[in-house]
């Protein structure tokens, strides 16, 4: 138990900064254990008040503090574990401080730390205070000049902006000076120092300026940055074409590091990436890796406007930059890879992570109103639901008005820190519409449930639709108001053809209904035949939809809905119902056969895209199914899902074999979407074949693994072998390790694969792997590969009835919390859903949360999540 009770920070308490900083000059003398940081701040009192100057600073060893050149006596300032306080500061002055820090022993990976023998920084959200004393809050924007000095073996010395000076120094040392002309908050500061290889390129912007592009990576890895470079150039062009946004500096740099708490960071002009989201070549990266690299490179680049040029007033506004930037990267990926396929993948991720969050004790609004540690709010709700809110906004006002509102936002707020209210005001101003009701999407947590009932009157040729919404209570929000919910809707006839209709006298193929009351009725006229309703097309809002559609309607949709998202969704709905029926002991074998047949037809549809077919073949995940079963029984779900997979496998054997042979790749590897789609379908076919563990399937999977010419196929083969188990699998695992032991990113995959193994032996294996020489809990990628994969993607084994899976996770959380609270806290979530599970399981999960919450010396990060999860 923590002896103090940490006090929450509240949005309602926001006050503007008492002092502003116009200029910052930082001087770094880099040394692994004794880095000296001198800061020279040009400070100005903000308004008329007599408050002291209070600067954040943690884990800093004070050397000196001076105002206007005069060193302050101890009585003139106080330094404690969190702040430097100067009571009688002048109205305008220069503050000079010097501190010493120890990057080498910084295993929290916040502030200045070392990764692979190189210096690097991570300052968002509140890491800058571990570098020097500063008003560590996003609404203090300042111009930074940074001088870095180090031993010459740290060959590249990088910071934000432009290089303005560099040179050699006596004693084998050198220096570099960087200046960033754009005022920025300190969370966007970055510094890198070390031996790196660089991949260089150039891009000519829309106004004809040439920008130098550099990607810095571990020595020898430059060829593996080629795809990221290509993605960067495409992102830069896309932002010009789609949003009229041009890059603003003459240089854009990305650095890849192996030890990183999150995915990547948008520091101005100097993005720092987790190497897992940057490095790729066919031999070591899967198509999924390529896809994520493309989207994260775009995401961080897009932050240059939505995040850096315009930043957040306070951390409650996090979605202002994150939700919006996810929306931008998803739109980019859709343009690169196909809208329907991208939408399906985005919605799968939303449901898996955000819907689960909304159903548990950690549910919070897209814009929360209080927190203990902001690090805990880099959540699926802020990011993914935040993006959905922007998407709805665009759906509601149309693409032209959306673009106008964005233009106004960039024009009005460039160079400032602002709020979600001000963002929305831009759209109100360009449309003349009132967004008060819409704003509830930011303030109200929980996934709305929408119901839809239809009644068709053949004589009158009318279709009456009855819609209703309700949002279940979430912690701190017992009652909810109705939200404006955009429902895009179309009709099909019994053969799946688009059925035209009229709404308010207007002929249409598709219409947008905005449900903004608790319930509403809409009548469509001129409907010539009994229709199949295709509602919530493209997943037009982040809700759970229930309808009175019959299974036969779903089959019509699966065969021919013009909206590909709903075609896929119909298949998922059917599969979900079949699996849940089995899980409750009511298997419906006739319907299962019918489903298998329909899937077979969809697979043989020559007109449809292989990437789409691969998605059709994948059954809803076990965690997705758990959300639909109350209370959830992971073992029953796993068994039922496997049973349906076996039936599909038996029924579709020939089709799957044909796909597996027919899609064999002959030419050279290309990471493009079409080639990736064919590989995805071929591997999905193998995966389903492997659900039927006959000797031939083992041979097939083994052959697939051995013949693999790229990592996508190697992993496809290995995971099929995992399902089959036995010697073939064990041998392949050993072979894989031997082959790739020098490649950390590939060995992460080796750990993650074993963590996903649903076999009974998996928990023991996973626990054993924590003692493997290649396991390293200090490296977040390796830790997540094993521990987080196990807890999040292996429900059958994580929810072991003995509680051993939960105990294992809690032990890991407590161990990691001792040195890396940010990463430890991200492991708490899988225990958070305890109320949704069978009571026997829920009680065991709760017990582990109590054990965590009761531990002495817990970080604020883990304390906040564990106590909220128990509340
Ligand atoms: N701002 C980063 C992004 O979403 C995420 C991040 C947060 C990275 C905190 C590191 C630390 O692009
Ligand atoms: Zn981001």
For ligand 2, the distance from its centroid to the CA atom of residue 311, given in whole angstroms, is: 12
**What is the average pLDDT value for the chain, to the nearest integer?**
98
Instruction: Give 72-101 pLDDT, tens digit per residue.
Output: 999 999 999 999 999 999 999 999 999 999
Distance CA 329, CA 49 (A): 43
pTM above 0.90, yes or no: yes
* 122 pocket-lining for ligand 1 (C-beta < 6 Å): yes
Judged by its nearest atom, the ligand closest to the C-alpha of residue 306 is 2
Mutation probe of ligand 1 site: the residue of 113, 124, 295, 825 with most atoms within 8 A of C-beta: 124
* 216 pocket-lining for ligand 1 (C-beta < 6 Å): no
The percentage of the chain sitting over the pLDDT mark of 70, rounded to a whole number, equals: 100
SS percent in the chain: helix, strand, coil, step 5: 45, 25, 30
* 243 pocket-lining for ligand 1 (C-beta < 6 Å): no
For ligand 1, the distance from its centroid to the CA atom of residue 871, given in whole angstroms, is: 28
Judged by its nearest atom, the ligand closest to the C-alpha of residue 265 is 1
Residue located via tokens 């308010």: 504
Q: How many CB atoms lie within 10 A of CB 567?
A: 22
The residue whose CA has the least distance to atom 3 of ligand 1 is 265
Instruction: Give 323-350 pLDDT, tens digit per residue.
Output: 999 999 999 999 999 999 999 999 999 9
Position 2 pLDDT exceeds 80: no
- The number of CA neighbours under 13 Å toward the Cβ of 268 is 30
Q: How many CB atoms lie within 10 A of CB 342?
A: 21
pLDDT at 666: 84
* 299 pocket-lining for ligand 1 (C-beta < 6 Å): yes
Q: Residue 378 CA: which ligand 1 atom is closest? A: 7
- Residue 593 designated active-site: no
The residue whose CA has the least distance to atom 5 of ligand 1 is 265
Judged by its nearest atom, the ligand closest to the C-alpha of residue 122 is 1
* 259 pocket-lining for ligand 1 (C-beta < 6 Å): no
Confidence of residue 5 (pLDDT cuts 50, 70, 90): confident
Instruction: Give 461-489 pLDDT, tens digit per residue.
Output: 999 999 999 999 999 999 999 999 999 99
Q: Residue 296 CA: which ligand 1 atom is closest? A: 12
Instruction: Give 532-563 pLDDT, tens digit per residue.
Output: 999 999 999 999 999 999 999 999 999 999 99
Judged by its nearest atom, the ligand closest to the C-alpha of residue 321 is 2
Q: Residue 375 CA: which ligand 1 atom is closest? A: 9
pLDDT at 694: 87
Instruction: Give 695-713 pLDDT, tens digit per residue.
Output: 899 999 999 999 999 999 9
The residue whose CA has the least distance to atom 11 of ligand 1 is 124
Instruction: Give 255-305 pLDDT, tens digit per residue.
Output: 999 999 999 999 999 999 999 999 999 999 999 999 999 999 999 999 999
Contact 569, 556 (CB under 8 A): no
Judged by its nearest atom, the ligand closest to the C-alpha of residue 271 is 1
Distance CA 743, CA 283 (A): 11
* 262 pocket-lining for ligand 1 (C-beta < 6 Å): yes
Instruction: Give 709-749 pLDDT, tens digit per residue.
Output: 999 999 999 999 999 999 999 999 999 999 999 999 999 99
Helix intervals (H) in 663-710: 673-689, 695-707
Average pLDDT over residues 135-145: 98
For ligand 2, the distance from its centroid to the CA atom of residue 457, given in whole angstroms, is: 50
* 266 pocket-lining for ligand 1 (C-beta < 6 Å): yes
Choose, from 149, 300, 592, 777, the residue flagged as catalytic. 300
DSSP secondary structure string, 376-411? GG-SHIIIIIHHHHHHHHHHHH-HHHHHHHHHHHHH
The residue whose CA has the least distance to atom 9 of ligand 1 is 124
Q: Residue 303 CA: which ligand 1 atom is closest? A: 12
For ligand 2, the distance from its centroid to the CA atom of residue 262, given in whole angstroms, is: 10
For ligand 1, the distance from its centroid to the CA atom of residue 189, given in whole angstroms, is: 13
Distance CA 353, CA 360 (A): 11
The residue whose CA has the least distance to atom 2 of ligand 1 is 265
Between 80 and 5, the higher pLDDT residue: 80
Residue 666's contacts (CB-CB under 8 Å, 6 or more residues apart) are: none
For ligand 1, the distance from its centroid to the CA atom of residue 264, given in whole angstroms, is: 6
DSSP secondary structure string, 31-66? -SS-EEEEEEEEEEE-SS--PPEEEE--S-EEEEEE
The residue whose CA has the least distance to atom 7 of ligand 1 is 124
pLDDT at 126: 98
- The number of CA neighbours under 13 Å toward the Cβ of 638 is 16
For ligand 2, the distance from its centroid to the CA atom of residue 66, given in whole angstroms, is: 37
Instruction: Give 765-821 pLDDT, tens digit per residue.
Output: 999 999 999 999 999 999 999 999 999 999 999 999 999 999 999 999 999 999 999
97, 13, 112: which is closest to 53 by C-alpha?
Answer: 97
The residue whose CA has the least distance to atom 1 of ligand 1 is 265
Position 1 pLDDT exceeds 70: no
Instruction: Give 645-702 pLDDT, tens digit per residue.
Output: 999 999 999 999 999 999 998 889 999 999 999 999 999 999 999 999 888 999 999 9
For ligand 1, the distance from its centroid to the CA atom of residue 331, given in whole angstroms, is: 19
Instruction: Give 246-255 pLDDT, tens digit per residue.
Output: 999 999 999 9
* 322 pocket-lining for ligand 1 (C-beta < 6 Å): yes
The residue whose CA has the least distance to atom 12 of ligand 1 is 265
* 265 pocket-lining for ligand 1 (C-beta < 6 Å): yes
Distance CA 577, CA 550 (A): 12
pLDDT at 4: 79
Average pLDDT over residues 490-510: 97
Position 63 pLDDT exceeds 90: yes
For ligand 2, the distance from its centroid to the CA atom of residue 303, given in whole angstroms, is: 7
Q: How far is CA 308 from CA 117, 188, 269, 375, 414, in A?
A: 29, 7, 10, 19, 9
Residue located via tokens 């790196």: 196
* 235 pocket-lining for ligand 1 (C-beta < 6 Å): no
Q: Residue 266 CA: which ligand 1 atom is closest? A: 12
């Amino acid at each position: 138990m923590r002896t103090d009770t940490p006090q929450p920070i509240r949005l309602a308490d926001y006050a503007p900064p008492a002092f502003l900083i116009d200029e910052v000059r930082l001087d770094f003398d880099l040394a692994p254990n004794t880095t000296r940081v001198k800061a020279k701040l040009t400070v100005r009192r903000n308004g008329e008040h007599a408050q002291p100057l209070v600067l954040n600073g943690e884990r800093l060893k004070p050397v000196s503090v001076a105002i206007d050149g005069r060193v302050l006596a101890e009585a003139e300032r106080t330094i404690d574990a969190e702040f430097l306080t100067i009571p009688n500061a002048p109205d305008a002055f220069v503050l000079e401080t010097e501190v010493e820090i120890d990057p080498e022993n910084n295993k929290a990976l916040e502030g200045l730390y070392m990764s692979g023998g190189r210096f690097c920084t991570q300052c968002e959200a509140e890491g800058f205070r571990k570098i020097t004393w500063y008003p560590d809050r996003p609404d203090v924007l300042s111009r930074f000049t940074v001088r870095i000095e180090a031993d010459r073996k740290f060959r590249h010395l990088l910071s934000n902006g432009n290089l303005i000076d560099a040179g050699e120094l006596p004693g084998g040392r050198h220096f570099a000076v960087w200046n960033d002309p754009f005022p920025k908050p300190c969370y966007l500061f970055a510094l890198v120092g070390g031996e790196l290889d660089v991949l260089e390129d150039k891009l000519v912007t829309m106004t004809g300026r040439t920008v130098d592009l550099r990607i810095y990576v571990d020595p020898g890895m430059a060829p593996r940055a080629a795809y990221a470079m290509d993605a960067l150039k495409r992102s830069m062009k896309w932002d010009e074409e789609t949003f009229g946004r041009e890059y603003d500096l003459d240089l854009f740099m990305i650095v890849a590091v192996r030890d990183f708490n999150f995915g990547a960071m948008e520091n101005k002009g100097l993005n720092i990436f987790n190497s897992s989201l940057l490095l790729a070549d066919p031999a070591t990266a899967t198509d999924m890796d390529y896809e994520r690299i493309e989207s994260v490179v775009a995401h961080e680049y897009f932050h240059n406007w939505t995040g850096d040029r315009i930043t957040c007033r306070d951390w409650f506004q996090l979605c202002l930059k994150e939700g919006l930037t996810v929306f931008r990267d998803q739109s980019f990926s859709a343009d690169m890879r196909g809208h329907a396929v991208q939408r399906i993948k985005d919605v799968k991720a939303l449901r898996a992570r955000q819907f689960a969050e909304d159903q548990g004790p950690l549910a919070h609004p897209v814009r929360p109103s209080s927190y203990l540690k902001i690090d805990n709010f880099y959540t699926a709700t802020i990011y993914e639901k935040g993006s959905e809110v922007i998407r709805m906004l665009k759906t509601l006002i149309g693409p032209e008005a959306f673009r106008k509102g964005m233009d106004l936002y960039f024009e009005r707020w460039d160079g400032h820190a602002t709020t979600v209210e001000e963002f929305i005001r831009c759209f109100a101003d360009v449309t003349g519409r009132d967004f008060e009701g819409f704003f509830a999407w930011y303030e109200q947590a929980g996934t709305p449930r929408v119901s839809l009932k239809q009644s068709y009157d053949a004589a009158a040729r009318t279709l009456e639709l009855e819609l209703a919404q309700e949002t279940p209570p979430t912690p701190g929000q017992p009652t909810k108001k109705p939200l404006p919910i955009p429902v895009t809707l179309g009709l099909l006839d019994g053969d799946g053809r688009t059925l035209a209709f009229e709404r308010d006298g207007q002929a249409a193929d598709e219409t947008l209904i905005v449900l903004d009351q608790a319930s509403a009725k809409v009548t469509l006229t001129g409907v010539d035949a009994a229709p199949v309703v295709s509602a919530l097309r493209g997943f037009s809002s982040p809700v759970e939809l229930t309808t009175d559609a019959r299974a036969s309607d779903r089959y019509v949709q699966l065969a021919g809905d013009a909206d590909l998202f709903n075609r896929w969704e119909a298949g998922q709905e059917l599969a979900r119902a079949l699996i849940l029926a089995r899980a409750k002991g009511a298997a419906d074998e006739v319907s299962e056969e019918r489903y298998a047949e329909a899937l077979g037809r969809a697979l043989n549809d020559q007109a449809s895209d292989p990437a789409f077919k691969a998605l059709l073949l994948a059954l809803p995940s076990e965690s997705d199914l758990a959300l639909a079963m109350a209370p959830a029984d992971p073992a029953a779900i796993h068994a039922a899902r496997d049973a349906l997979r076996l039936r599909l496998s038996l029924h579709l054997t020939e089709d799957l074999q044909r796909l597996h042979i027919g899609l064999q790749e002959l030419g050279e590897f290309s990471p493009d979407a079409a080639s990736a789609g064919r590989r995805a379908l071929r591997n999905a076919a193998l995966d389903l074949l492997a659900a039927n563990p006959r000797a031939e399937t083992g041979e097939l999977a083994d052959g697939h693994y051995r013949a693999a010419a790229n990592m996508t196929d190697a992993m496809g083969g290995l995971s099929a072998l995992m399902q089959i188990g036995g010697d073939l699998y064990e041998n392949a695992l050993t072979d894989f390790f031997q082959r790739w032991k020098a490649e950390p990113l590939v060995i992460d995959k080796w750990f993650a694969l074993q963590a996903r193994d649903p076999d009974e032996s998996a928990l023991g294996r996973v626990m054993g792997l924590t003692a493997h020489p290649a396991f390293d809990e200090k490296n977040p990628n390796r830790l997540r590969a094993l521990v987080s994969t196990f807890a999040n993607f292996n429900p059958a084994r994580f929810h072991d009835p003995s509680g051993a899976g939960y105990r294992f996770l809690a032990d890991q959380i407590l161990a990691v919390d001792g040195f890396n609270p940010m990463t430890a806290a991200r492991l708490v979530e899988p225990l958070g859903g305890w109320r949704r599970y069978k009571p026997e399981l829920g009680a065991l999960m709760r017990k582990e949360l109590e054990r965590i919450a009761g531990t002495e010396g817990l970080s604020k990060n883990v304390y906040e999540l564990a106590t909220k999860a128990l509340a």
